[in-house]
Structure 1
Amino acid sequence: MRLHVGCAMWAHAPWQGRFLPHPLPPAERLRAYASWCNAVEGNTTFYATPTRATVETWARQTAPDFRFLLKLPKTITHERRLANAGEELRAFLAAVEPLGPRVHALWVQLPGAFGPHDLGALAAFLRGLPPAYRYTVEVRHRAFFEDGGAARDLIRVLGGAGAEWVPFDTTVLFRSPPTSDAERDAWTKKPRVPRRAPALTDRPVVRYLGRDDVDRTVEGWGPWAEKVAGWLREGRSPTVFVHTPDNAEALPLARRFHDDVRALVPELEPLPEPVPAEPPTLF
């Protein structure tokens, strides 16, 4: 039984010197993060395919049971819209190969304009992916959340490929007006869709976006703690990524979510103690 938790990134300026040692060379930052969390979103791969040498440093900094959820590059998902992207896909797969089993899944994040009429392209794309990896799909078109027929069609496509539907739960963010600059910015950029919870596979993935207020973030994830506890009891292995608009407290919040689930499922192993931000002193 294992619950993976993490954040949207492994290097964030507000964490330096508070949660993570500072200064740290780039080749050590992921190692420090991995002492706090056992998973991370691979958002950087959305913007550009990393070099194989870079990915090899990621593997060296993480234990074999650490997990990456890596976004496919936007050239594949947003620019080519899953069509005629074989060359880009092959380059990406070759680059991430050094991670081996650390790749929890490859993540197909689709643009908001990708709707029910595009499901044929998604089905064809998923059929052409190598079976060595698992795949997760994030959709943002409101029809998939508000039209039962569209949702069933999407589930049918995903089920045929053994892929998971990744919910991005922003309901807590949009529950009341923003109170910080980061929240105001998030209001203009994040998808405003209903919460969706059912799992399609034995490895469900959740992206949860709270508020910059810690208490409101913790209060808002209550339904997810219950849902994740239920998945663990069913024998599933969930992964949960905790976001806030400024992400200043996301690192300890991810661990706190793990603790909240463990309170419901006591047999869940605790996370190891993180590396201290400052070396111990004699006095």
Structure 2
Amino acid sequence: MEFGKVDPAMLDTIDFTLPADPTETLAILQATNHARPEIFVGCAKWGRKDWIGKIYPPGTKESDFLEHYARHFNCIEMNATFYGMPTVRQTNSWREKVGPDFKFCPKFTEEITHIKRLKDVQELTDRFLEGIAGFQNNLGPIFLMPHPNMGPETQDVLAAFLETLPRNLDVFVEFRNPGWFSDAQAFGSVFDMLAQNHRGTVISDASGRRDCVHMRLTTPEAFIRFVGNGLHPTDYTRIDEWVLRIKQWTGYGIRKIYFFMHQHDELHSPELIKYFIAELNRHCGTQVREPAFIPQQSTLFDLPPASAPARRRPSRRS
């Protein structure tokens, strides 16, 4: 994943502190008062041959990757559906490889968002929705990323597209055009529109795009895309920040949290997820399942690089 990538030499100069929650976010969460959130943690892909011997048993066939992936994680950010229109036969075959509580979170196909840019896409959208119907009860939220060139001047196009979607469809929107964040009026307008339509927002935490860490929730659910840097020490301190924030949101009553781990090289995503889940369970009293590494390599892969300095642990404050 190249989004938000910076020169590694710059990482120690970036302020990774999470912004304070906007008042609108706090109002939404405090009005929910949910007892305990559902938490889903996963990666963006399951087809990693370099996970064989790490979390996939030696000799695992590619056709069995998803089945093994679902034994470690309870959701997947489905970027595969961005690059190709899904079919019922395809999504049904994927569903048959996972358990009843696993969630697929498919991304709208690029034909809809990047080629047609949300205009005149009813037929394509119908095909997409028909294709993901094969996930049945394993369907999680749908991830919508408008083309990065679509800025505030296209809000009406976005709103019109969202109006065509079924009301019971769980949709989260990610903005990448800097104009949404640099113009306070545009920011307030589009996020208010999403809140009024009960559509969620994606928070993307990437090193080179701190504007996308906006912390503005428009529903009592969070969809977080975390982009690490190969187990650099800052990956761990950033995770510590998120654990504290999620602890706060849990206290306010957030309903669901989807946390997706990305790396510019996905090789080490399982290690950072394991750390995230362990800290989340320790500080938030959750019982999210940790990925299990192959026993003979657990010590090697379970620890950060030997050169990494000691990491700051989250404090006990709420």
Aligned to 2:106: 70
Q: Check conservation: 2:113, 2:145, Cα contact below 8 A.
A: yes
For 1:260 and 1:277, the matched residues in 2 are separated by: 21
Aligned to 1:281: none
The reply to whether residue 262 of structure 1 matches residue 298 of structure 2 is no
For 1:8 and 1:154, the matched residues in 2 are separated by: 26
Q: Give CA-to-partner distance per residue, 1:188-231, whole Å, 9 cap, x none.
A: xxx56352223221221000111113533111222221122222
The reply to whether residue 13 of structure 1 matches residue 32 of structure 2 is no
Q: Is 268-277 or 27-36 further displaced after alignment?
A: 268-277
Matches within 5 A, 1:239-258: 239-258=258-277
Matches within 5 A, 1:37-186: 37-171=73-207, 174=208
Q: Check conservation: 2:53, 2:294, Cα contact below 8 A.
A: no
For 2:265 and 2:125, the matched residues in 1 are separated by: 32
Q: Check conservation: 2:176, 2:212, Cα contact below 8 A.
A: no
Deviation at 1:128, TM superposition (A): 0.6
Aligned to 2:223: 205
Matches within 5 A, 1:265-276: 265-266=284-285, 268-271=286-289, 274=292, 276=294
Q: Check conservation: 1:106, 1:134, Cα contact below 8 A.
A: yes
Go from structure 1 to structure 2 and tell me whether the alpha carbon gap of 1:75 and 1:269 turns closer, same or farther (over 3 Å shift).
same
For 1:196 and 1:56, the matched residues in 2 are separated by: 35
The reply to whether residue 3 of structure 1 matches residue 28 of structure 2 is no
SS at match of 2:104: strand
Q: Check conservation: 2:261, 2:269, Cα contact below 8 A.
A: yes
Identity rate, percent: 24
User: Match of 1:153, as an amino acid?
Assistant: S
Q: Check conservation: 1:36, 1:255, Cα contact below 8 A.
A: no
Q: Give RMSD over aligned pairs.
A: 1.9
Deviation at 1:144, TM superposition (A): 1.5
Query: How many pairs does the alignment contain?
Result: 259
Q: Give CA-to-partner distance per residue, 1:218-266, whole Å, 9 cap, x none.
A: 1122222112222223142101111111111102322321221122111
Task: Show structure 2 runs of 5+ residues with no match.
Answer: 1-35, 297-318
Q: Is 226-235 or 89-98 further displaced after alignment?
A: 226-235
Q: Check conservation: 2:87, 2:130, Cα contact below 8 A.
A: no
- TM-score (norm. length: structure 2): 0.76
Q: Check conservation: 1:3, 1:258, Cα contact below 8 A.
A: no
